[in-house]
Amino acid sequence: MTESNPYIVTTLFRELHSTDSYRCGVKSTICFIWLFLLPVLSLSDSTSRAAETGDDQVFKAGAAMMDITPPLGTPVVGGWQPTPAIHVNDPLYVRVLALDDGETTLIFAVCDLLGIPQEIGKKTKKLIEEQVGLPPSHVVITGTHTHSAGTPFSYNGGGSRLYRPDGELNSYQMFIARRIADAVQVAINNLEPAQIGKGSGYEPTQVFNRRWFVDSEELRRNPFGGVDRVRMNPPRESPELMEPAGPTDPEISFISVQSKEGRPIALLANYSLHYVGGVPAATISADYFGVFSDRIQELLDADRQDPPFVGILSNGTSGDINNINFSISGESRGHYEKMRKVADLVATEVHRAYQHIEYKDWVKLDARYEEVALRRRETSEEMIAFAREILDRSENEPQWHNRETTYAHRVLGLSETPETWEIPLQAFRIGDLGVAAIPAEVFVEIGLEIKERSPYSKSFTLSLANGYEGYLPTVEQHEFGGYETWTATNRLEIEAASKIIDTLMRFFQDMN
């Protein structure tokens, strides 16, 4: 409560005790009324200012991490065919950051998985609501997109990932859901008075657009009997290379929370880079996301704390971005070497920017969530007929494309799903920071547009959040073709990106 104005109090007492005041009952009454009302008015004014600034509220933060490594024998996802795991290089984790402004609690749960199918996301949020009472709109669950994790997906007989948002979970999917829910509860148990800050750095040397305009028609063939305008991951240092088909986003955005005394609690970073790789076949690894977690903890001198510090790296808009510069020849590297280098560069840049953070004792939190109806990618009668023709061919017939059979199965699997899908979209406000969440491998152009149009001073996007619905290119990139735009790799309508961006901008404006 703000203190009463000393000048007003002194003046009133002088008036009250003057000879004239005692002789004038009206004047005395007025003085008594003022003395009575002044504390009430001060309290009202204080409450109003506190509501605006959060002065009467305590900002809290907590973090936790739990192991979600699958047993050996679990299929490792990420390649064209899942392979049973025979080795674990480093464990997989769900890493959780909990923020609380005294009225609203927000949860980030980032998992070392290729993605989070809707059936896991919905089951997990239901468990969280039962355990700690948080609504689904206040919890975002994402995958890092490591290509060396146990598969979280369900498949049909042809190897297509199914759209089954309310489907039953298998044993590993249920294990993931329970571990995420438990990690959220532990993070909430760890909530303590905290201060929060945001920052950003830049690491342009590790991000490259992987879609290229190339001269060779053979390099641009697609598995549907046609020819695209661009090629994903073309041959390196090839004379056929013309130019990249899109931009990159080198920014590393991050949130840092500390105790009131300055002890690091957690750091959540976001970088628009696909996985790095360099992991042997059939081996479990969190890729560079896991290495970053260890490295940033080391750089912040946050080892062996109680509660433990949690470093988190989330996947930004990296649907068309990887770590390969196709214009130069490749280097010979050992297993895990490249991911360690990338993680160290990203963590070092975050640590540099970390030194300049301005922390706040309180910021406003808010959330929006909506399941938006979007059409799935059309599977025309001609495309279905072509797929069946491919599957009826003998093995000895010449192929137009080496993935014809794979996409024939995928197209037929997609054609059996509903024509309209409910897509979970979500946004958080953290002070003057906006965070968008999209259930797809989002193209970098979309992330850049969200940053451009956001009403907040800073924004970033979480890909692979609350669901996994394939790649999300822009309409322009659809016109170029290429792997990420192929039907079944891209599972949402061609116009989906613009509709999603408009919805997220509405969320941001509602919270602003």
Asked whether residue 281 falls in the same domain as residue 304, the answer is: yes
262, 199 Cβ separation under 8 angstroms = no
The DSSP H or E segment spanning 496 is helix 496-511
For residues 179 and 269, membership in a common domain is answered with yes
Structure tokens belonging to residue 473: 């290119």
Q: Using the structure block, give the residue that is written with the tokens 């996947």.
A: 315
Asked if residue 278 belongs to a domain, the reply is: yes
CB atoms within 10 A of CB 208: 19
In a domain, 322, yes or no: yes
Q: What is the pLDDT of residue 161?
A: 67
- Domain hosting 25: range is 6-53
**Gap between the Cα atoms of 88 and 133, Å rounded:** 35
- 252 forms bridges with which residues in the sheet? 201, 271
Structure tokens at 357: 């953070």
**pLDDT single digits (tens) 94-144:** 999 999 999 999 999 999 999 999 999 999 999 999 999 999 999 999 999
- Are 64 and 204 within one domain? yes
Question: Which two three-digit tokens encode residue 81?
Answer: 């065919």
Q: Is residue 398 assigned to a domain? A: no
- Is residue 377 within 8 Å of 493, Cβ to Cβ? yes
114 and 157 share a domain?
yes
Count CB atoms within 10 A of the CB of residue 29: 10
The angle, 0 to 180 degrees and rounded to 10, between the axes of the packed helices 496-511 and 444-453 is 30
- Tracing tokens 């080795």 back to the chain, one arrives at 87
Answer with the one of 53, 68, 84 that is the final residue of a domain: 53
For residues 70 and 153, is the Cβ–Cβ distance under 8 A? no
Low-confidence residues in the chain, pLDDT < 70: 1-55, 155-162
- 234 domain-assigned: no
Q: Does residue 46 sit in the same domain as residue 68? A: no
pLDDT, residue 65, reads 98
Judgement on whether residues 106 and 12 belong to the same structural domain of the protein: no
The tens digit of pLDDT for each residue in 196-219 reads 999 999 999 999 999 999 999 999
* Residue carrying structure tokens 């088909």: 245
Domain end residue (candidates: 18, 33, 53): 53
Specify the 3-state DSSP secondary structure of 120: helix
Would residue 336 count as lying in a domain?
Answer: yes
Q: Is position 199 within any domain? A: yes
Token pair recorded at residue 101: 């402004």
- Please report whether residue 229 resides in a domain: no
Which residues fall within 8 angstroms of residue 23, CB to CB, at 6 or more apart?
none
Q: How many domains does the chain divide into?
A: 2
Kindly state the DSSP code that residue 279 receives in the 8-state scheme: P
User: 130 and 19 in one domain?
Assistant: no
Examine the domain organization and report whether 201 and 87 are in the same domain. yes
> Residue 153's pLDDT is what?
86
Count of H helices and E strands in the chain? Answer: 12, 24
| Tokens 């193209």 sit on residue | 443
């360099």: which residue's tokens? 278
Could you tell me if residue 178 is inside a domain? Answer: yes
- How much is the pLDDT for 156? 56
What is the per-residue pLDDT for 331? 80
User: Who's near 320: CB < 8 A, 6+ residues apart?
Assistant: 209, 210, 211, 232, 245, 246, 443, 444, 445, 473, 477, 484
Supply angle C-alpha 259, 262, 263, rounded to 5. Answer: 70
Same domain, yes or no, for 299 and 427? yes
Same domain, 34 and 98: no
Of 14, 31, 53, which one is at a domain's C-terminal end? 53
* Residue 11 sits in the same domain as residue 144: no
Question: Any bridge partners for residue 360, and if so which?
Answer: 196
The reported pTM is: 0.89
Indicate if 32 and 173 belong to the same structural domain: no
